[in-house]
Chain A
């Protein structure tokens, strides 16, 4: 695909440079230059593709890391002296048991409502472990990613399917109004999605504690708790890491831009198709800027 090794500038700064160029061109003498802006939009599209892929990979790596750290912390928390060794063993046995029990339930498809996601979250750990044990179930993994991270032992987790994303923020360049669009659909590569995946990594600690034993029965008890934690985590995550703020702003601009020059969307890139369809509802500023030719 696109070789990112070619230059030192990363996708993120390319995106900001490109947007700056487009913005400046509106005040240039002689009117907007259609050709130049078209070329800049190509760079923007390319940079966005790379940026989103990189971001997703990074979030995934962070998930893995946080998962490991959380488990370690949890072990220390609960029985720092006695059960450290035993717990690890118990966990594994419990997981194996869960795997066996929930194998059938885990095969369900991706698109679920939020409620199901929460329920699925409790069994997510099992199914994902199963993923590591057996043939991975791509669609199932994605739907649960919202709630629970992959298990620490699960090295390979496929990420090929779509998931729900609850909200997207759109910035109208003309009025500078920020609106939050609910119930959009985004592909795996979307940063919003990834953000939520990242921060929900902290919930498994409590969930796993509940899970020891029979997973199915805990489905009802766990949801409220995990949901509450999830909501809190989501907000935290948005503002916790300083770079997240920047990237969320950029991802917002990216989703805005998905609305313009939709002819540039590659037919193979489903990502942009989804993003643009979703953002087409909020065309506004960019359309005005571009269609003004």
Chain B
């Protein structure tokens, strides 16, 4: 893969998380997201916790030593709840985290589980007032009779403390499971999408939301598709897209009407009849949709491929990349063990020249759009020496297995990379295995 100055070589930088193979369910990472500057990296897990890592200031004297991400803040975002009316447990698993663009000293992010979205404020405190008149240093109130003088409290430096506090709770707006949140470019509104509806919120208002898409049929028996992902356009605050389980993407313009059930554009590629199988519907279901940074393209991920769409062409994608085509003959087994329902995400690099997505056996794939090259890399503890260059991996699809190749039957389908994120400016990537977060960066020559 060619970057400025030659081929990119990915090196191991860090790994976060427990080492032991026995994975606690609560530690399973469910979402990964860089903030807009790339300084902060947030992860959410099945236990409802959010962990934020901060990039240390790069040591300019030693360009070889790239900055590291260290834990900045950890907090419990969502707790398990119980819907008494429906007798249903609501999982605390964090489905999505989205950062708000920074407006002041504090950082804000939206985190959501199946039913409730929360706006969290993460702020630093490195000073503390000292010299209260009525309180001792440890907080106990003084006996008023002992106070003989007045003084003004003074701010003194203290150890940095990072606080996370929930500023807004957006609840009770979704009957079905929330799968997406997306902040609008106007920095005032955001959307949240569940299986059948999309709601528009104002960040300041929690007791009201506008429903802008509703695909619930009058008779649930006639249900044929659900919403799988939704995102606002990066620049046009009136435009958003949502993908469906049928493999279609609809682009909607909020200026057209209040309710955007009618799409402005419908992106759909006709199915190849020769590939028809029992599982055609499952593998065509789109699991993620992401606009490019420049807003001209969008990328969709279905079970076997990644597709790049030009927003001006609805009939077919402009590029299609096969992630793991060798799985097409294994769909039966993948259906039996439920792997066929895995929802892989995808992401763009900063200049939209490379896209990345995950696969099984802790493999992840990168596709260089310009140079038509792709590479398979692995996130594993074995390749975890500092600055160790990642060796490209290859899956043997049939015939004689070459040395260093791995056969399809040897793939570990329990080791899946569903969530990946790319730093908005630099070649730094965060790749989440089941319970570990790997950080790789491009080797600085």
CB of B276 within 8 Å of the partner chain:
yes
CB of A291 within 8 Å of the partner chain:
yes
CB of B57 within 8 Å of the partner chain:
no
Whether B217 pairs with A36 at a CB distance below 8 angstroms is: no
- When distances are taken between beta carbons in the complex, the residues of chain B under 8 Å from A14 are 278, 332, 335
Whether B245 pairs with A35 at a CB distance below 8 angstroms is: yes
Whether A263 pairs with B217 at a CB distance below 8 angstroms is: yes
A-B contact count (CB 8 A): 104
Whether A43 pairs with B278 at a CB distance below 8 angstroms is: yes
Whether A38 pairs with B331 at a CB distance below 8 angstroms is: no
The B296-353 residues at the A interface (CB cut-off 8 A) are 329-333, 335-336, 338, 341
User: Known: A31-B86, A39-B281, A42-B281. Contact between A6 and B222, CB under 8 A?
Assistant: no
- Give the complex CA separation of A42 and B341 in angstroms: 13
Query: Interface centre among B88, B114, B221, B341, by most A CB within 10 Å?
Result: B221
The B191-226 residues at the A interface (CB cut-off 8 A) are 195-196, 217, 220-226
- Give the complex CA separation of A46 and B331 in angstroms: 14
Whether B89 pairs with A30 at a CB distance below 8 angstroms is: yes
Whether B279 pairs with A43 at a CB distance below 8 angstroms is: yes
> Nearest chain B CB to A256's CB is how many angstroms away?
13
Whether A50 pairs with B278 at a CB distance below 8 angstroms is: yes
- When distances are taken between beta carbons in the complex, the residues of chain A under 8 Å from B83 are 31
Whether B245 pairs with A293 at a CB distance below 8 angstroms is: no
Contact residue among B89, B228, B279 (Cβ-Cβ distance under 8 Å from A31): B89
> Nearest chain A CB to B198's CB is how many angstroms away?
15
Q: Main SS of the interface on chain A?
A: helix
The interface bits of chain A over 254-293 (1 if a CB of B lies within 8 angstroms of the residue's CB, else 0) are 0000011111100000000000000000000001001101
Whether B276 pairs with A260 at a CB distance below 8 angstroms is: no
Query: Interface centre among B226, B278, B282, B329, by most A CB within 10 Å?
Result: B278
- Give the complex CA separation of A47 and B336 in angstroms: 14
Instruction: For the complex, count residues of B whose C-beta is within 8 A of A.
Output: 39
The A141-180 residues at the B interface (CB cut-off 8 A) are none
**Interface residue range, chain A:** 35 or more
Whether A263 pairs with B245 at a CB distance below 8 angstroms is: no
CB of B238 within 8 Å of the partner chain:
no
- When distances are taken between beta carbons in the complex, the residues of chain B under 8 Å from A6 are 277-278, 329, 331-332
- Give the complex CA separation of A11 and B335 in angstroms: 13
CB of B292 within 8 Å of the partner chain:
no
Closest to B338 in A: A21
- When distances are taken between beta carbons in the complex, the residues of chain A under 8 Å from B222 are 261-263
- Give the complex CA separation of A259 and B88 in angstroms: 25
CB of A228 within 8 Å of the partner chain:
no
- When distances are taken between beta carbons in the complex, the residues of chain B under 8 Å from A29 are 89, 91
The B262-299 residues at the A interface (CB cut-off 8 A) are 276-282, 285
Whether B90 pairs with A30 at a CB distance below 8 angstroms is: yes
CB of A9 within 8 Å of the partner chain:
yes
- When distances are taken between beta carbons in the complex, the residues of chain A under 8 Å from B336 are 9, 17
CB of B177 within 8 Å of the partner chain:
yes
> Nearest chain A CB to B443's CB is how many angstroms away?
40
Whether A36 pairs with B341 at a CB distance below 8 angstroms is: yes
Whether A262 pairs with B221 at a CB distance below 8 angstroms is: yes
Whether B224 pairs with A2 at a CB distance below 8 angstroms is: no
Whether B332 pairs with A9 at a CB distance below 8 angstroms is: yes
Whether B282 pairs with A42 at a CB distance below 8 angstroms is: yes
> Nearest chain A CB to B406's CB is how many angstroms away?
22
- When distances are taken between beta carbons in the complex, the residues of chain B under 8 Å from A261 are 221-224
> Nearest chain A CB to B316's CB is how many angstroms away?
23
- When distances are taken between beta carbons in the complex, the residues of chain B under 8 Å from A17 are 335-336
- Give the complex CA separation of A261 and B226 in angstroms: 13
CB of A34 within 8 Å of the partner chain:
yes
- Give the complex CA separation of A50 and B277 in angstroms: 10
CB of B176 within 8 Å of the partner chain:
yes
CB of A8 within 8 Å of the partner chain:
yes
User: Known: A34-B195, A38-B226. Contact between A3 and B245, CB under 8 A?
Assistant: no
Contact residue among B176, B276, B329, B333 (Cβ-Cβ distance under 8 Å from A293): B176
- When distances are taken between beta carbons in the complex, the residues of chain A under 8 Å from B221 are 259-263, 287, 290-291
- When distances are taken between beta carbons in the complex, the residues of chain B under 8 Å from A287 are 221
Query: Interface centre among B177, B276, B279, by most A CB within 10 Å?
Result: B279
- Give the complex CA separation of A47 and B332 in angstroms: 12
- Give the complex CA separation of A42 and B224 in angstroms: 9
Whether A38 pairs with B223 at a CB distance below 8 angstroms is: yes
Whether B220 pairs with A7 at a CB distance below 8 angstroms is: no
> Nearest chain A CB to B344's CB is how many angstroms away?
14
Q: 8 nearest interchain CB pairs?
A: A7-B332, A263-B222, A42-B281, A30-B91, A31-B88, A9-B332, A263-B224, A46-B278
A-B contact pairs, 27 of them (CB 8 A): A2-B280, A6-B277, A6-B278, A6-B331, A7-B277, A7-B332, A30-B90, A34-B176, A34-B195, A34-B223, A35-B285, A36-B341, A38-B223, A38-B225, A39-B285, A43-B281, A43-B335, A46-B278, A260-B221, A261-B224, A262-B221, A263-B217, A263-B222, A263-B223, A263-B224, A264-B224, A291-B221
If A38-B225, A293-B220 are given as contacts, then 4 extra A-B residue pairs at C-beta distance below 8 Å, sorted by A number, are A7-B329, A31-B88, A38-B223, A261-B222
